[in-house]
Structures are given as C-alpha cells and as structure tokens.
Amino acid sequence: MSKLKGFTLVELLVVIAIIALLMSILLPSLTRAKMQAKEAICMSNLRQWGTIFSMYTGDNDGLFNRGWPSPGGDDWGFAGGHTWPLSLRPYYSGLPAKHEADEDSEAWGQKKIRFCPMATRPYGRESRVAYCAWIQPDTMDPGGFAEACGSYGTNEWTGNQPEDEERIEGANWKTPNVKGAGRIPLIMDCAWAGGFPQDTDEPPAHDGEMSLGGHEMKRYVINRHNYKVIACFVDYSVRKVDLKELFVLKWHRLFRLDGPWTLAGGVTRSDWKSKAPWMLNLKDY
C-alpha cells in the first residue's frame, strides 16, 4: 500500500514567501494603475465641467454665472454661499431649477461629476482633507443635500458680479473671452465649493490645513493627486497643476504674479521650511 504524499511545512512556507514577494512587487503597480484611473476620471469630469460652463456662457451673452450671491438673497445659504451647482444644474442634471426628484433617483443624471473619485467621502469620515468631499446643508431644500455637496470648487473671481458687489473693484473675470484664459482657473479640485484666492495668501502649514475664512488659497493647495491638483481653466482646457504653481496663476485681474510665495517675489527655501515644510521640496515657480 503506497503512502499519500503532501507538501512539507518547509515547502508551504516557501510557496507563501514567493506569493508574498510577488504581491509586494505587484501591489505598487496596481496602486499606481488605480490612481492613474482615478486621475483620468477626474480629468474627464472637469472636461465635462468645461463644456457645461461653455454652454452656460453661450446661452447668457458670453458671461459667466453670477457666482457669489447677493447679500441676503434667497440663495445665500446654498452650498455655503457658492451658487454654481444651482446655476448650472439644468446643464448637467437635465432637471429644472426647482427639482422634484428624490436625491437618490437616477433622474439626478450626472451628479457624480461633482466629485473627484479621490474625494467622495464627507468630512468626518475621512481624516485627510484632500480626500474629503464638502457637504453643506441646502437652505433651499433642508431635507436633502442633493446639490450642496462635491469635491470640486470654482474660482469665485470668475463671476458676473455687479460692480458694486465685487470684493475688489475691477477684479472679476466676467467672461471667458479674455487674453491669457489658459492661466485663469475656473473649476478644479478643491476642499470647499470655491474661494477668493489672493496673491498674499499663505500656503497650508501642513498637508490638509484648510481655511474657511481668509487665506483661501489653502482650499486649493491640497495633495489630492500626488502633490498636484487637476484644474479646468477659463479657456476650458484641463491639466494637472503643481501645488506651488497655483501661486502664479492669474486668479483675478489684479492678482500679482510676483507674490510672496513665488520666485519672482523672492520666496526662499527658508520661507517654505518655516511656513509650509511639507511643500519644501516641491518645484518652485
């Protein structure tokens, strides 16, 4: 009678070691592939936003939507005061301005394009701000968060504000038909629904510091795509942007390109080390 042969303990350990080695080799490649796939989806989303803004301006005499609402207006509390999800809703959801569909209904259509696939969870469920979606109760629809959520934000200087309501007189970009449109941010990865960056704004002191009042550049300087963000510009082009490059984009008409955090403004490694050490070794602009 012949004996049944099986694997020895040593042979099993060798097989397990080989599998573990192969996994250690393959996992980084799989992780990179997954990240690249999410970047591609994010770029596709922002190209769609470019098309949506183009459609809106085409229907409105070549002008952007109002952007920041009138003080005390009906839409003041919407998404923290940022009205673009509401203004543009007819162009991406197929619904009228005052919806009747349930939040989870398929009728919301392209709701997903408000989210970078790297940032779909709300604050509180994810520790890193770069990977969080913003959620703000909708005062026009207290029972839901249908439009008041996302992980992209607009450059609020691209708004067709009345001159007497502009934060800085003559600063707003009111139309995409301007010189240098490819250097003017329109909508991009953001930790909030939008903001008003200034050339004097400081960078985040650490990865994930976000300001809801003052130094609003911090909302955009987030490590979402390997120390880059993805942005759609006023000419509707879409590309990845280095975090330090954000300080040399033309956010508004009076935005100085030689601000204190630029090479032209004399920024040094000591400045970065002092204020934002996590950005010290990134490329300077």
Q: Which two tokens stand for residue 122?
A: 């709300």
71 pLDDT band (50/70/90 cuts)?
A: low
In tens, the pLDDT along 110-157 reads 467 888 999 887 776 545 778 888 876 544 444 444 556 789 999 999
pTM: 0.81
Q: What is the rounded CA–CA span in Å between residue 51 and residue 48? A: 5
How high is the pLDDT of residue 131?
Answer: 85
Q: Of how many residues is the chain composed?
A: 285
Q: Which residues, 6+ apart, have CB-to-CB distance to 178 below 8 Å?
A: 184, 234
Neighbouring C-beta atoms of residue 246, cutoff 10 Å: 23
- Cβ–Cβ < 8 Å for 141, 129: no
Q: CB atoms < 10 A from the CB of 63, how many?
A: 15
CA dist 213 and 218 (Å) reads: 10
- Report the 10 Å Cβ neighbour count for 82: 26
Check residue 155 and give its pLDDT: 96
